[in-house]
Structure 1
Amino acid sequence: MIPAPLIPHDKLLDLLLDVVCVVNKEGRFLSVSAASERVFGYTPQELIGRTAFELIHPDDREATRQIVERITAGQPSSDHENRYIHKQGHIVHIMWSTQWFAAEQVRVGVARDITARKQAEARQAAVYAVSAAAHLAETLPALYQQMHHLIAQHLPVQAFSVALYDAERDQLSFPYQAGDGLPGPAPAPLAAYPSLARTIRSYPHTPKTENSGQSPQLCVPLLHDGVPIGVLVVQGRRGSPVFNARDTEFLNFVASQLVTAISRHRAYDKLSFLAQHDQLTQLPNRVLLMDRLQGALLRAQRTSGQLAVLYLDLDSFKQINDTYGHGVGDQLLQQVATRLRQSVRESDSCGRLGGDEFAVLLDSIRQRQDAASVAEKILSTLAAPFLIEGHTLTCTPSVGIAVYPEHGQSERQLMHHADNAMYAAKRNGGAGYAFSPDAPA
């Protein structure tokens, strides 16, 4: 039997997947196995004579120098790690097993490429960080910013956007954008953004990377109960590789966590709104109005300013309600609320206290007459007939006015005096206003 031919030792080294190299005391490569081209992108001939520190990531050079000093002092290392810059420009993670041979004055090292493992570990850490951020972020803007930061740690991101879809209006809004060449933040029709429209319209098809000006772009749908409510848009750096399947999987996870957070915040906002607003008219309720009055009082006290509270009661509401029914009465209250909002500034507040009683907070007035002018405008606005279910109805209010600091120092005092003034206006025949205490303007 003829024995198999022996392979020379130097050829055996070239068959190894790990890189075997010999460097002198200055760190210059004296010998490198063929695996260097697979790991570092450089052929052995390209590395001979160069120093290893030329290829090491700048942030890792000092730590590596300290390790090399210990190895040269007689302390072999079997598991130290550092990062190298591949010939094509990307980072490779290396684990070294290295020993110094004093007689030959050389270091012999074996380099194993652990980039895939490091990327998997980093991606897993990012998954945990994304999940934690989604559950702990106090506000959605803060969460969007944190998600952007986490994504940028693992992908070559040039721009990042969160686009939310309003199906009823068929338009997109952009609550978060960061980067170059992004659309304006104002809502716009879905058709204005073809790539985002494709993502929403074509679901459940797998998201695909598109090239926008030679920059890869990936649009991932934000899905709530299987229905797209928006799009996560990641724009890669110009010339960077297209996003692969692992990138898409990671961004899909980010999208799912964002949807969970968005849904939770929306539910909280809805509950908060319901707790602070009248369900029929959507006006602030007594609790919220008193809270706003308290804040306005603090501002007025700091600036030595004035404010006013108007207390309204609809003169003939009970009669209308009894005659035409609660359905007509509810619509009347809703229309009254709409007209009240139209009668005051955006900085002022209208609220429903209960039944047919409303209040208006005039935040910051210059003089008592300003409150009277608003009361006259409200009376004029509500004097116009209401058309409800074929009925033409008239329902004027009685308005009581209390002014800070003339009529009270606290929110309760002002509300009490405005209430008393409203009854004074009602005793005077209604459809008018009176200042506290029971003195007509």
Structure 2
Amino acid sequence: MFAEITLAVGTTGWASIATTAAMLYRRRLHTDTLTGLGNRTALHRTARRERFTCGLVGLLMVDLDQFKAINDTHGHPFGNKVLAAVAAQLDDATHPGERAVRLHGDEFAVWLGPVSGSTAAEHRADQLAEALAEPIWVDGQRLTALGSVGLAVAPAATDLAELLGHADAHMYEIKANRRLTVLPTGQAQRNRDTHGGTAA
């Protein structure tokens, strides 16, 4: 009897350890180690969960302007701290149901989830752009991380790669204009039509 109880307790203990280890592994799999935000895998998982809902979803892409110059001037450790500070800004600015992730380098995305339409999504994009423009402190230096924000709005069933492509194209359109703003959807459409691009 004593041996059976010991074995049962031991088995339960190992099962608990294995479960905890699996949870930690899954968390690491979906987390960007530098910033603590979700990563691209986490974004795909979030998008899959909402793919079969009705209506529209929104996605933002954020790219920091002239970030390479920060790394070249101050070094990569300083640049990493800037990325972490920007990630915290984006995370603090998200609403329930939204998720900020780091894609790679100085590119981030914010999954807006269900939106009522382009106007509502553009409003959220403006709010997040304003949050991003707030000063940050890194190693005692006050900085403003200027960024370009691109927006895509599409039916929930749209493939994430397509959403990312539209948001990315819109973001680089913003960057080309050298503005920290979000182009109205109609203007973005006219610009793409003029240059032979695809609509977001």
User: Normalising by structure 2, what TM-score?
Assistant: 0.84
- Displacement of 1:436: 8.9
Match of 2:121 in 1: 371
**SS of 1:308 mapped into structure 2:** strand
Candidates 259, 282, 286, aligned match of 2:40? 286
- Structure 2 residue runs without a partner (length 5+): 192-200
- Displacement of 1:413: 1.0
Q: 1:421 corresponds to which letter in structure 2?
A: H
Match of 1:330 in 2: 80
Match of 1:402 in 2: 152
Which of the two has greater helix per residue?
2
- Displacement of 1:131: 3.8
The superposition leaves residues 376-427 of structure 1 with CA deviations (integer Å, 9 ceiling, x where unpaired) of 1111111122221122222111111111229x82111111111111111111
Q: 1:309 corresponds to which letter in structure 2?
A: L
**SS of 1:297 mapped into structure 2:** coil
Q: Which structure has the larger Rg?
A: 1
Percent identity of the aligned residues?
32
- 1:9-408 aligned at under 5 Å gives the runs 121=1, 123-132=2-11, 134=12, 257=13, 260-298=14-52, 300=53, 304-405=54-155
Match of 1:186 in 2: none
Task: Assess if the C-alpha contact under 8 Å between 2:151 and 2:171 holds in 1.
Answer: yes
**SS of 2:33 mapped into structure 1:** coil
- Displacement of 1:437: 9.0
Structure 2 vs 1, CA of residues 436 and 294 (structure 1 numbering), >3 Å: closer, same or farther? farther
- Displacement of 1:350: 0.8
Structure 2 vs 1, CA of residues 262 and 394 (structure 1 numbering), >3 Å: closer, same or farther? same
Match of 1:37 in 2: none
**SS of 1:433 mapped into structure 2:** coil
* Separation (CA, whole Å) in 1 of partners of 2:98 and 2:153: 14
- Displacement of 1:263: 3.5
Task: Assess if the C-alpha contact under 8 Å between 1:386 and 1:393 holds in 2.
Answer: yes
Task: Assess if the C-alpha contact under 8 Å between 2:47 and 2:160 holds in 1.
Answer: yes
Q: 1:393 corresponds to which letter in structure 2?
A: L
Task: Assess if the C-alpha contact under 8 Å between 2:117 and 2:153 holds in 1.
Answer: no
* Separation (CA, whole Å) in 1 of partners of 2:145 and 2:66: 6
Match of 2:181 in 1: 432
**Which structure carries more relative contact order (alpha carbon 8 Å, separation 6+)?**
2
- Structure 1 residue runs without a partner (length 5+): 1-120, 135-256
Q: 1:277 corresponds to which letter in structure 2?
A: T
Task: Assess if the C-alpha contact under 8 Å between 1:402 and 1:417 holds in 2.
Answer: yes
Which of the two has greater strand per residue?
1
Task: Assess if the C-alpha contact under 8 Å between 1:344 and 1:374 holds in 2.
Answer: no
Task: Assess if the C-alpha contact under 8 Å between 1:343 and 1:374 holds in 2.
Answer: no
Aligned length: 189
* Separation (CA, whole Å) in 2 of partners of 1:307 and 1:325: 38
- Displacement of 1:124: 4.2
The superposition leaves residues 223-276 of structure 1 with CA deviations (integer Å, 9 ceiling, x where unpaired) of xxxxxxxxxxxxxxxxxxxxxxxxxxxxxxxxxx3xx44443333222222221
* Separation (CA, whole Å) in 2 of partners of 1:305 and 1:334: 33
- Displacement of 1:361: 0.5
Structure 2 vs 1, CA of residues 437 and 130 (structure 1 numbering), >3 Å: closer, same or farther? farther
The superposition leaves residues 6-55 of structure 1 with CA deviations (integer Å, 9 ceiling, x where unpaired) of xxxxxxxxxxxxxxxxxxxxxxxxxxxxxxxxxxxxxxxxxxxxxxxxxx
- Displacement of 1:316: 2.3
Task: Assess if the C-alpha contact under 8 Å between 1:349 and 1:361 holds in 2.
Answer: yes
Match of 2:195 in 1: none
**SS of 2:28 mapped into structure 1:** helix
* Separation (CA, whole Å) in 2 of partners of 1:364 and 1:124: 56
* Separation (CA, whole Å) in 2 of partners of 1:388 and 1:433: 27
Match of 2:194 in 1: none
* Separation (CA, whole Å) in 2 of partners of 1:367 and 1:267: 41
* Separation (CA, whole Å) in 1 of partners of 2:140 and 2:182: 30
Match of 1:412 in 2: 161
Structure 2 vs 1, CA of residues 280 and 380 (structure 1 numbering), >3 Å: closer, same or farther? same
